[in-house]
Amino acid sequence: MAKKEKKSGRKDERGLAAEQNKMTAPKETETKTKKEPPRPKTAADRKKDRRDGIVKTVFAAALGVLAGFACYYIASTTGENPWEIGEFPWHFILLSVILVTSLFQRVAYPLLKIDAASFKTKDWLYVEFIVVDLWLVTWTILLN
């Protein structure tokens, strides 16, 4: 059988210490800010969100395919190594595609009536992943 450990100190000191911790700890009600519950979306809001999601996805996919074709036609001026376009290595081309397409999307989405200002990091990563993925797929298929 395991022996019970003796607690040091008197009971009233331990109780006093616990009481002091309660007094110095901030109350939960004071630290939490009151948030209003989100209002339910109307049918029109849901329809607009669905339309915006489809437009974002299709536009990013088309942009990736166009970037793949552009890289294929630029690749006719390859450098010494097969993974270089002209004088640039593949990772420079990848970063260039990401930069150019993200800037182009920031300009194009307001023209497509999509609120790009409300995009979060997750949204930008989503559309850029689609662009880069389809760019690589298109370019690879065209190179073979």
Cα 15 to Cα 6: distance, rounded to the nearest angstrom: 16
pLDDT of the residue at 130? 95
Asked whether residue 29 carries a pLDDT value surpassing 70, the answer given is no
Q: What is the mean pLDDT of residues 92-100?
A: 89
Asked whether residue 14 carries a pLDDT value surpassing 90, the answer given is no
Alpha-helical segments (H) within the chain = 11-24, 28-31, 43-74, 90-111, 121-143
Show the domain range for 99.
63-143
Domains in the chain: how many in total?
1
The pTM assigned to this predicted structure is 0.64
Does 133 map to a domain? yes
Asked whether residue 81 carries a pLDDT value surpassing 80, the answer given is no
Are the C-beta atoms of 134 and 68 separated by less than 8 Å? yes
Does 126 map to a domain? yes
